[in-house]
Structure 1
Amino acid sequence: MSTFASVPASALTVGIDVGGTSIRACVVDETGEVLDSVQAPTPHSARALEDALDRAVRELAGRHPVSAVGLAVAGFVTPDLTTVRFAPHLPWKNVPVARDLRERLGLPVVLEHDANAAAWAEHRFGAAAGGRNVVLVAIGTGIGAALLIDGTLYRGSHGVAPELGHLQVVPNGRPCPCGKRGCWERYCSGTALVDTAIELLAADPTRSTVLAREVVSDPGSLTGRRIASAARDGDPLALRTMEEFAQWLGLGLAMVGDVYDPDLVVVAGGVSGSAPLFLDRARDVYASRATGSGNRPLARIRETQLGESAQRVGAATMARDALLHL
């Protein structure tokens, strides 16, 4: 039996995006509004990370009457939302993080995969509202994904589904940190933008554009954000890179559509901020490559409405939902 008292639906909760670089925590109300936030670098040891999370929650709790905590983690979380099985950029492996933090804070704590948390926030307050079967594709350094079936998150038998970013789209293609080659995220992510630009320049070293000269003079300066900025300025190399990205996004979404047949796809993550550069083209590719195109309804493809706060808002909302079911 729970030792925590029941709370009203209007309770304030804390949502934390536990990333490999930074911890971003915020206080969220029942409408999904972010009321306050703090940020800190992510420590490299498990004990230091839990200390940092403790400090972030206590700082926010010192200013607001918070009732529970939700953590959004880029990694495998057990179906009971208590334990991190594995997180490639965090020092947790089979660690009961929810229990450990609950004991330290004296508050209920739930865990969730970061893409699932983002999908839940978009479902409750954003671009996925009203969708029945929804796929969220979070494009950043790699690709995270989530699936809502009739408004319920699908996690698979062991809490790791759906790993769409690691669908193989190119046999023996670019190597992926997961150990495979040719994964979708190696062609459709912020990291992929850099790889594509370098490959295009290598194939045609006579290209003389601002971006090409920057790459030649300082290859380490090239980032996905820089490519997007150059594309907005009309740089030919950057525009060609974004075109390749749009092609891979559309092709991948066609595969996803063939498997799940969603009525709505939400494109989220850091790269989604540059959606005007690629999303219309990706929609066209998706429509042309989906099986039975022209003879079946296709999913609507929308941009995130909550942006980079989606993971924190979703984690906080899940913590509130858990409180209401104690």
Structure 2
Amino acid sequence: MENELAIGIDIGGTKIAAGLVDAEGRVVEEVRRATPGHDARAVERTVAALVAELGAQAPGAAVGVGAAGWMDLSGSTVLFSPHLAWRNEPLRARLEEMVGRRVLLCNDADAAGWAEYRYGAAAGESHAVVLTLGTGIGGAMVTDGVLQRGRFGVAGEFGHQTLVHEGHRCACGNRGCWEQYASGNALGREGRGLLAAGSPVAHALRDAAGGNADAVTGELVTRLAASGDAACRDLLVDAGHWLGIGIANLAAVLDPGIVVIGGGLGSAAPLLIDTAADTYRRTLSGRSYRPFARVVRAALGPAAGLIGAADLARRAPAED
């Protein structure tokens, strides 16, 4: 099985990426489609069409599907998806019926984390934590070659550890979650706050947004920071500080050998990662008497999710 091509699919909020992946983690062919809004059935039909397109070149290929949300421990049911109307949805059986072949279902951050462990920045490390930074913060853990999913399959929700008591309200319903301080959404909120306050240091941000605070996003702040704008660089440093504190919390509990930072924001903002690594080293408990985990940038970029989903599908026992 490990010498065969596998099909990996990564369902995102705006696009669905699919690829044929070989046993070395190389994507030999990739196709993309726009995510059809919030219509879960339309998403399933799109996935089936992508499998049919790629499967014509690899008739026996296993299929791995990564999506945001909580999967049950068996990988058969989506307990909850934040972007689509999947609630206790027996998605694996539905997809297998549609595509006519075996399907592995997994969380998208787990898929990306597994890819970095197998082929990327965490290759060769026995205890790895992988963070995916985008609109929020997702994550995965791999220990001694095993993807750690917890007792019920929903481990890795790192972004919802509480960092600030009664802090910013999170979409999860709680306050002060980590992702409210160290994510793309957090950067956008802070940038909008600068414009709304009429801050004179935000002139580049104001010009780029056309004077419209609502047009400020984390992506815009990151782009201006990369071009050298001091105000946006300060916002990235602030976010990196919070990111480092959260990493120190994870390291105190999990004691990894490496922390890999990926996702759209992690890939675009080396200043964020450098600041996070420095803050982590300054705030880790017992820092004078214990080794530090390496904090590094992810290696596989946006294809990590489909690469990991394909490899997990290839390696799954036949009965799954």
**TM-score computed with the length of structure 1 as normaliser:** 0.93
Tell me by how many angstroms 1:162 deviates: 2.2
Tell me by how many angstroms 1:206 deviates: 3.0
Mapping 1:154-173, distance limit 5 Å: 154-173=148-167
Write the distance in 2 (CA, Å) between the matches of 1:79 and 1:252. 26
Write the distance in 2 (CA, Å) between the matches of 1:12 and 1:263. 31
Per the alignment, residue 15 of structure 1 pairs with 8
Mapping 1:113-262, distance limit 5 Å: 113-201=107-195, 205-207=199-201, 209-215=203-209, 217-262=211-256
Q: Aligned pair 1:291/2:288, yes or no?
A: no
Tell me by how many angstroms 1:236 deviates: 1.7
The 3-state SS of whatever aligns with 2:269 is: helix
Match of 1:45 among 3, 26, 39: 39
The 3-state SS of whatever aligns with 2:201 is: coil
Count of residues in correspondence between the two structures: 319
1:132–1:149: 8 Å Cα contact kept in structure 2?
yes
Mapping 1:61-76, distance limit 5 Å: 61-76=55-70
Per the alignment, residue 35 of structure 1 pairs with 28
Structure 1: 5+ residue stretches without partners: 1-7
> What amino acid is aligned across from residue 192 of structure 1 in structure 2?
A
% identical aligned pairs: 42
Per the alignment, residue 84 of structure 2 pairs with 90
> What amino acid is aligned across from residue 204 of structure 2 in structure 1?
V
Tell me by how many angstroms 1:229 deviates: 1.6
Deviation by residue 1:257-312 (Cα, 9 ceiling, x = unmatched): 11111111010100112232222221111000000112110100111111111110
**TM-score computed with the length of structure 2 as normaliser:** 0.95
CA RMSD in angstroms comes to 1.7
> What amino acid is aligned across from residue 121 of structure 2 in structure 1?
A
Deviation by residue 1:59-92 (Cα, 9 ceiling, x = unmatched): 1122444511000011000111111111010121
The 3-state SS of whatever aligns with 1:156 is: coil
Q: 1:213 to 1:274 in 2, by over 3 A?
A: same
Q: 1:45 to 1:276 in 2, by over 3 A?
A: closer
The 3-state SS of whatever aligns with 2:296 is: strand
Deviation by residue 1:144-197 (Cα, 9 ceiling, x = unmatched): 011112221111111111211001111111111100111000111111111122
Structure 2: 5+ residue stretches without partners: none
> What amino acid is aligned across from residue 178 of structure 1 in structure 2?
C
The 3-state SS of whatever aligns with 1:207 is: helix
Q: Aligned pair 1:281/2:275, yes or no?
A: yes
Tell me by how many angstroms 1:324 deviates: 6.0
Tell me by how many angstroms 1:101 deviates: 1.3
